Chain A
Amino acid sequence: MLHTVNKSPFQNSTLESCVRFASQGDVILLIEDGVLAAQAGNVKAELLKEAMGKCEVLALSADLKARALTDLVEGIKITDYDGFVDLVEKNLTHSWL
Chain B
Amino acid sequence: MAEDIKKIMFTVRKPPHGSIYVYEGLEVKLIMAAYDADISVVYMDDGVFAVKQGQNTKDLGIKGFEATYGALVDYEITKVYVDRQSMEDRGMTEDDLLVIGEDEDTEEPIKPQVVDSAEIAAMMAEQHNILAF
Contact = CB atoms under 8 A, between A and B. Distances in A.
A13 B45 contact: yes
B130 A92 contact: yes
Given A17-B44, A17-B45, A23-B125, A94 B13 contact: no
Contact of B124 (A1, A13, A14): A1
B40 interface: no
Contacts of B45: 13-14, 17
Contact of A97 (B13, B44, B129): B13
Contacts of B85: 20
B11 A94 contact: yes
* Interface size classification for chain B: 10 to 19
A21 B117 contact: yes
B85 to A, nearest CB: 8
A13 B122 CA distance: 21
Contacts of B132: 94-97
Interface residues of A, number: 14
A97 B132 CA distance: 7
Interface string B105-128: 000000000000100111011011
B13 A96 contact: yes
Interface string B53-89: 0000000000000000000000000000000011000
A92 B127 contact: yes
A55 to B, nearest CB: 11
Given A92-B129, A97-B132, 13 more contacts: A1-B125, A13-B45, A17-B44, A17-B45, A21-B44, A21-B124, A23-B122, A23-B125, A92-B124, A92-B130, A94-B11, A94-B130, A94-B132
Interface of B: 11, 13, 44-45, 85-86, 117, 120-122, 124-125, 127-130, 132
